[in-house]
Amino acid sequence: MAVEVRLPKFGQTMEDGTIVNCLAKVGDKVQRGDVIFEIETDKATLEMESPGDGFVKHILIEQDQTVPVGQVIMLLGKEDEEVKAPPAVKTTQAHEKTVSAEPAKTESVLPVETKAQPQTEYKLGQTVPLTRLQKLTAQRMLQSKQQIPCFYLTVKADVTELVEYRTKINQSSQVKVAYNDFIIRAVATGLEKFPIMTGRLDGEALKLADSINIGLAITVPSGLVAPTIKDTNKKDVIQIARDSQALIERAQNSKLSLEDLEGACITVSNLGAYGIEAFIPIAIPGQCSILGIGQIIDTLMPNSGDFVIRKLMTMTLSVDHKVANGAYAAQFLDFVRKLLEDTTNFE
């Protein structure tokens, strides 16, 4: 008897997914647990495993087709079993391309020999199609601008000692600690002291986060993702560094799970590596705030009638005014700044 392979629901909010790659072709033998599709959801590209054993009889979808959760996308059967091909799957309305509902003329309508590759070089006059992730990002940023009345706070943290401290611990640590790891640890401590900053509007009340999870904005070939470091307030800088490196590696290899991308109550976005001194980040819907980090700049500062060079880092906090007021958010940001300026907080 044929086995119907249906698009699974990878997360609570998932309604559909886009088929970006098929790892099996008609006639192949697959076993339960074998990865047979790569599925792009609204949050990540995920590997889909076969729900059973058998030989691939029909593939009912096309490359880059978006289909709803629960839709049959492949049929498996015994090696000598005749399995009737049903109509090709219709594309959900969220996807621009329309796919015919007539029976497929060939058994496999998915070009399995090709895999979508990110466009890395652009030329003037070129038309560049948006990825699903880029479309989603655009929708969410528009939603943020329309529905989240943000205000913005900026401070400069003197991280002279922190720069030296990071160099020192990286000489002996097996895990390389980035500046982001210190920032995330300081933010987590700040959220413990100022818990309203973890909140989101829920009807006529504020719902505070059950745990302190912090998102880290990461650039990937298909756009931008912000995977989550969980229970950050319970971890030291080394543990945070280990977790963040694992998330970055999974993000760059399109291996993030939906669990990796859920649950953040604030996000840290750092553009310092690109020479950006300061910027105003856009708050992510469902989160109270986002912290933008700029480049560490050598700055001439007065000191007892003389001048010294100190290393200053600009931090800009975008805050949803529906959740927190200016004074509260300012205290939170000032507290985070002071934590970063005193390296004993990380020992």
**321 belongs to the catalytic site:** yes
Q: SS3 of 329, please?
A: helix
Please give the pLDDT value at position 252.
87
The string of pLDDT tens digits covering residues 114-173 is 233 444 678 999 998 887 778 888 888 999 999 999 999 999 999 999 999 999 999 999
| Last residue of one domain, picked from the residues 113, 142, 161 | 113
Q: Are residues 201 and 334 in the same domain?
A: yes
| Last residue of one domain, picked from the residues 61, 83, 113 | 113
List the CATH number of the domain containing 170. 3.30.559.10
Q: Which of 101, 142, 321, 342 is catalytic?
A: 321
Question: Which is nearest to 332 in space by CA: 159, 196, 184, 150?
Answer: 196
Measure the CA–CA gap between 114 and 123, rounded to whole angstroms: 23
Q: Are residues 324 and 202 in the same domain?
A: yes
Half-sphere exposure of 266 (CA within 13 A, CB side): 37
Q: Are residues 239 and 312 in the same domain?
A: yes
Query: Taking the model in full, what pTM does it have?
Result: 0.77
Q: Are residues 145 and 105 in the same domain?
A: no
DSSP structure string for 157-175: EE-HHHHHHHHHHHTT-SS
Mean pLDDT by 10 residues, the chain (347 residues): 88 82 93 91 81 93 90 92 80 46 39 40 88 82 93 98 97 94 98 97 94 94 88 97 95 85 94 96 95 97 92 98 97 98 95
Measure the CA–CA gap between 5 and 53, rounded to whole angstroms: 11
- Our count of domains for the chain comes to 2
Please give the pLDDT value at position 11.
74
Please give the pLDDT value at position 342.
97
Please give the pLDDT value at position 114.
29
Q: What secondary structure letter does DSSP report for 80?
A: T
CA-only gyration radius of the chain, Å: 24
Amino acid at 128: V
Q: Are residues 10 and 144 in the same domain?
A: no
| Last residue of one domain, picked from the residues 60, 85, 113 | 113
Q: Are residues 109 and 13 in the same domain?
A: yes
Residue 338 lies in a domain: yes
List the CATH number of the domain containing 23. 2.40.50.100
Please give the pLDDT value at position 93.
52
Please give the pLDDT value at position 223.
80
Domain that holds residue 12: 1-113
Please give the pLDDT value at position 259.
86
